Amino acid sequence: MYEAKVKIGLKKGVSDPEGANTLKALHLLGFDTVKEARTNRTVDLLIDGKNKDEVKKKVEEMCQRLLTNPVIHTYEIKIIEK
């Protein structure tokens, strides 16, 4: 059994309204030293597989077919043996 953690973010130049609102709110609360806020999401998956390479390949396919939009998203995959 493996746990896959997929961190999904927006590519540079893609509008991030949630990040912009977070930055604005932080400034209103007096946290003026914060220069940028970007949002990410994480998808955690438990997967059966023979080895890390096989699991990573499956997760890569999931990212390309469902979890991300390659036009606007970047992603990082971390595989942990359970």
In contact, 78 and 5? CB cutoff 8 Å: yes
* Domain 2-81 CATH assignment equals 3.30.1280.10: yes
Low-confidence ranges of the chain (pLDDT < 70): none
Q: What is the pTM of this model?
A: 0.87
pLDDT for the residue numbered 36: 96
Instruction: Please name every residue paired with 5 in a beta bridge, in sequence order, or none if there are none.
Output: 44, 78
pLDDT for the residue numbered 41: 97
Ranges of each domain in the chain: 2-81
In contact, 45 and 66? CB cutoff 8 Å: no
The DSSP string of 19-59 is: HHHHHHHHHHTT-TT------EEEEEEEE--SSHHHHHHHH
